[in-house]
Amino acid sequence: MGEFELIRRYFARESLNDPSVYLGIGDDCALLCPPTGQLLAVSIDTLVEGVHFLPGTPGDKVASRLLGAAVSDLAAMAATPAWFTLALSMPSFDQDWLEPFASCLAETAQGLGIHLVGGDTTRGPLTLSVQVHGFVEPSLALKRSGAQVGDIIAVTGYLGESKGGLESLLKDEPETPTIAHLRQRFYAPTPRIKLARALAPFIHSAIDISDGFLADLKHILKASHVGAKVDADAVLLSHELLAFAGNTALARQWALTGGEDFELCLTLPSEHWEHCQRKAQALSIPLTCVGEITNTDALDIWESGHKVHYTQDGYDHFRSSNG
Ligand code: ADP
Ligand code: MG
């Protein structure tokens, strides 16, 4: 099968019925029309086999992980997903891998309301990049730089589960229902788009949790020139995470520092807290207050009445030996 047949069969399956797509896959460029008055939010993410996912990972798992992680960046800005492009490098044409990859990519895209409008297909080590585009009203775009002293620090969902899922894969654990849940969280992130859109008018700053909660909070602190006090005991730990980790200390370590949760870390003025919590409840997403923005330049973490240190802030590709 040639490159063009491959693209036609796997990626240009459906014609798009979206007024913002004037021309989709098939020409030299896609032709797109962003709505007037909205900003275009753009972000790109890459997964490399052996670095971001284990060799031999089925195509469907890679697809949901790839698109979920990329769209999470749109959620972090309170943008509505619109279009994406896909750069795909594979060592050889492998139908058994591509079929579930393309099917799951299409299904995930449909669920997220985002359309594939173009890409590039090459031969090389298995590497996938998606560039996502979304729309956001200038007044609603959430930045890392808006945190203010006195803001509540809140997180969505249950942190650390993705890390638990990854650990279970690295240890090649048999798949119990608990482990299946954690692996699902690793392979199929659920970008918090609706919640981000609903909360955006009340939020001062936001980031999605990709490197680990503490590491990502530090990005907010640095960009906003503030400090923070975190109550580690307040961080929600799921039953599944506690069961797999075997003890609270390890589960908490994963929740605070394990990456790739693709939940949101938000800061907001306390007067909007109850309103935001109700909005989150309406979407059945936990929203937990885990700390406060301070006027120091430090990140202080408290646990059982003591100040504690977490050495591993999160994942940094260029500092780790295997990155
Ligand atoms: P060009 O050589 O002009 O860059 P290509 O031959 O690479 O164009 O691609 C032909 C068409 O197929 C383009 O519209 C391109 O966006 C699309 N395309 C190529 N690879 C992919 C892919 N992996 N997923 C989606 N669309 C793709
Ligand atoms: Mg061309």
The residue whose C-alpha atom lies closest to atom 18 belonging to ligand 1 is 119
Report pLDDT for 321.
42
CB of 179 shorter than 6 A to ligand 1:
no
Least confident of 82-96, 165-179, 238-252, 304-318: 304-318
For residue 28, report the distance from its CA to the centre of ligand 1, in Å: 7
Q: Which ligand is nearest to the CA of 117?
A: 1
Count of CB atoms within 10 A of residue 156's CB?
26
CB of 7 shorter than 6 A to ligand 1:
yes
For residue 3, report the distance from its CA to the centre of ligand 1, in Å: 9
Report pLDDT for 273.
98
The protein residues having their C-beta less than 5 angstroms from ligand 2 (an ion) are 28
CB of 68 shorter than 6 A to ligand 1:
no
Report pLDDT for 3.
81
Q: What is the dihedral of CA 314, 318, 322, 323, to 10 degrees?
A: 90
Alpha-carbon gap, residue 295 to 102, rounded angstroms: 48
CB of 89 shorter than 6 A to ligand 1:
no
Measured from the Cα of 27, ligand 1's closest atom is 14
pLDDT category, 1, cuts 50, 70, 90? confident
Instruction: Check whether 314 has a pLDDT greater than 80.
Output: no
Report pLDDT for 313.
56
For residue 118, report the distance from its CA to the centre of ligand 1, in Å: 6
Report pLDDT for 317.
56
**Number of residues written out for the chain:** 323
For residue 123, report the distance from its CA to the centre of ligand 2, in Å: 18
CB of 24 shorter than 6 A to ligand 1:
no
The residue whose C-alpha atom lies closest to atom 4 belonging to ligand 1 is 28
Predicted confidence (pLDDT) per residue in 65-110, tens digit? 999 999 999 999 999 999 999 999 999 989 999 999 999 999 999 9
Predicted confidence (pLDDT) per residue in 180-220, tens digit? 999 999 999 999 999 999 999 999 999 999 999 999 999 99
Find where tokens 């608990």 sit: 178
Measured from the Cα of 87, ligand 1's closest atom is 23
Instruction: Check whether 323 has a pLDDT greater than 60.
Output: no
Report pLDDT for 31.
96
The residue whose C-alpha atom lies closest to atom 16 belonging to ligand 1 is 118
CB of 165 shorter than 6 A to ligand 1:
no
Report pLDDT for 216.
97
> Which amino acid is located at 158 in the chain?
Y
CB of 25 shorter than 6 A to ligand 1:
yes
CB distance 218 to 90 below 8 Å = no
Least confident of 74-78, 234-238, 313-317: 313-317
- For the record, the structure tokens of 278 come out as 């109700």
For residues 294-311, give the mean pLDDT: 93
For residue 19, report the distance from its CA to the centre of ligand 2, in Å: 23
Report pLDDT for 17.
80
Closest CA to 243 of 173, 169, 164: 164
Closest CA to 281 of 206, 181, 195, 203: 195
Predicted confidence (pLDDT) per residue in 45-72, tens digit? 999 999 999 999 999 999 999 999 999 9
Mean pLDDT, rounded, of the chain: 94
CB of 105 shorter than 6 A to ligand 1:
no
pLDDT category, 6, cuts 50, 70, 90? confident
